[in-house]
Amino acid sequence: MNHREIAKKIIEESGGIENISSVTHCSTRLRIFIKDKSKVNQEQIQAIKPVLGVVFPEDELQIVLGQNMIPIYESVSKTFESQSKNSDARTNEAQEASQSSHTTKSTDGGKKSIGKFLYKVLAFVSAAVTPMIPGLVAGGMLKVFLLLATLVFPAFESSSTYSMLNMLADVPFYFMPIFVAYGASKKLGGTPLYSMTVAAALVYPTFMTAVTEGTSLSLLNIPVTLVKYNSTLLPALLISIFAYYCEKFLVKVIPGIIRPVFVGMLTITAAYILGITVLGPLGDIVGSYVVHIFLWSSVNIGPFAVGILAACMPWLVMTGMHHAVTPFMVQAITNPGYDGLFKPAYLLHNMAEGGACLGVALRTKDKALKAECYSLAVGCILAGVTEPALYGVNLRLKKPMYGVMAGSALGGIVAGLMGATAYVYGYSTILAIPIFQQTIMAIVTAIIVSIVSACIITMIIGFDEELLR
């Protein structure tokens, strides 16, 4: 079965083109936003040969494809685009689907638990930030290599080449509100350019200069709180939600003949006024509190905070919720300027996944499985891609998951005890250890503990190879 046929089968089992609002992806997952969940045949999708796993939180169908993701995504995306009538029709369908889902939520919302509500919030945040993850990874790894270059050639840091490349590496983080606005709008079914325009205004040079210099500003006689919105998440999310409902309202009340002229203008104006005066400052305050709560836990719970988060990571990855905390990681590195919790936990979980695969490889007598596990271990440790190992081996064999959790926890505790702290955003691989700067030995020690303990524990408790057949 070629990629085009796989894409056709995925679309068919997802309920057809008419049941899809939009298509996106992350490093290893095809993410399809669904209108009617009942039309999706998860079992048939799981049975497609390249598919490693299927996760379906709310209306986002996540299909784990590992190294096959990009060509299959391209085929699905092209098919989706070619068979949809036009972009306007797709937008209207997405809005109707989103409106329908909101109506459903309102009828039975009183019966749902707080946990379910929080899960939906995390699912929305995860879906909103997923499109920008590749950009954050690209910028973060460029920073890692620039840091390595300055260690080898100290004079390079004062060159214009370094300055230009460093600016490029900063872009995905500095303009994060714009990328968040795009993802949130796509998730909601609104017009991305409206919320992106307002988010861009939050980091417009004139406004940023006024913030830096403390210049007093007001809008319609409403005082404007001077906040640096670069590298923030929640302001853009709140603005995108308001822009979506504002646009939907204006489309209903403005006559069709003048709708193209006034809907966009009024949407961005209303979203900007409310965003810069209320939603932006509110989102910044809440986002700062969230980051500081996590940092408080790492200070007051001590090394166990990193261990607990690292041990939970495989289950966050399985549900697709691991991306929901990525923006807070970026925000922590921006303010207060370091991350002693998120990045160590992310990194050590990846190492433990690789360690468990090594344990399987060393214990099994099956040559094909041995070779596969060695390859997956390299992917986890050097590339930071864990889904193929998680879904392909560790989860299917079940018992290696104990090794993953134990290795993650033990490595996290060591990292916490030794004070491993990231000062630059980078991908969660062994190649990114320079971002820990003066605490590099702490994270190296923790990495060794994670890999070795996950490997040994997996070898000791064993596994049933028949589960892979």
Q: Is residue 114 part of a domain?
A: no
Last residue of a domain, one of 44, 70, 87: 87
Alpha helices, DSSP H, located in 37-113: 42-47, 69-83, 87-108
311-324 pLDDT, tens digit per residue, is 988 888 776 667 66
Least confident of 20-29, 384-393, 436-445: 20-29
Q: Is residue 373 part of a domain?
A: yes
Q: Is residue 253 part of a domain?
A: yes
Residue 120 confidence class, pLDDT cut points 50, 70, 90: confident
Last residue of a domain, one of 57, 87, 117: 87
Looking at residue 454, its pLDDT comes to 96
Q: Is residue 168 part of a domain?
A: no
Least confident of 38-42, 119-123, 161-165, 360-364: 119-123
Looking at residue 466, its pLDDT comes to 74
Residue 94 confidence class, pLDDT cut points 50, 70, 90: very low
Question: Based on the domain organization, do 266 and 225 belong to the same domain?
Answer: yes
Q: Is residue 401 part of a domain?
A: yes
Mean pLDDT of 435-462: 95
Determine the structural domain holding residue 77 and report its residue range.
3-87
Element (H, E) at 128: helix 114-129
Checking if the pLDDT of 135 tops 50, the result is yes
Question: Based on the domain organization, do 327 and 269 belong to the same domain?
Answer: no
Question: Based on the domain organization, do 459 and 320 belong to the same domain?
Answer: yes
Question: Based on the domain organization, do 273 and 331 belong to the same domain?
Answer: no
Question: Based on the domain organization, do 339 and 455 belong to the same domain?
Answer: yes
Residue 1 confidence class, pLDDT cut points 50, 70, 90: low
Contact, 379 vs 385, CB < 8 A?
Answer: yes
Checking if the pLDDT of 99 tops 50, the result is no
Contact, 317 vs 323, CB < 8 A?
Answer: no
Question: Based on the domain organization, do 283 and 371 belong to the same domain?
Answer: no
Kindly report the pTM of this predicted structure.
0.69
Question: Based on the domain organization, do 283 and 333 belong to the same domain?
Answer: no
Looking at residue 97, its pLDDT comes to 46
Report d(CA 99, CA 447) in Å as an integer.
46
Question: Based on the domain organization, do 337 and 370 belong to the same domain?
Answer: yes
Checking if the pLDDT of 296 tops 60, the result is yes
Per this entry, what is the length of the chain? 469
AA identity, residue 205: P
Checking if the pLDDT of 326 tops 60, the result is yes
Q: Is residue 233 part of a domain?
A: yes
Q: Is residue 352 part of a domain?
A: yes
Residue 52 confidence class, pLDDT cut points 50, 70, 90: confident
Q: What CATH number has the domain bearing residue 27? A: 3.30.1360.60
Question: Based on the domain organization, do 343 and 275 belong to the same domain?
Answer: no
Last residue of a domain, one of 290, 310, 340: 290
Number of domains the chain contains: 3
Q: Is residue 434 part of a domain?
A: yes
Looking at residue 353, its pLDDT comes to 94
CA atoms within 13 A on the CB side of 8: 5
Checking if the pLDDT of 154 tops 50, the result is yes
Looking at residue 208, its pLDDT comes to 93
Question: Based on the domain organization, do 308 and 327 belong to the same domain?
Answer: yes
Question: Based on the domain organization, do 284 and 308 belong to the same domain?
Answer: no
Mean pLDDT of 116-128: 74
226-236 pLDDT, tens digit per residue, is 998 988 888 99
Which token pair is 260?
A: 């193209």
Checking if the pLDDT of 137 tops 80, the result is no
Mean pLDDT of 194-215: 93
Question: Based on the domain organization, do 372 and 455 belong to the same domain?
Answer: yes
Looking at residue 84, its pLDDT comes to 64
Mean pLDDT of 142-162: 88
Residue 112 confidence class, pLDDT cut points 50, 70, 90: low
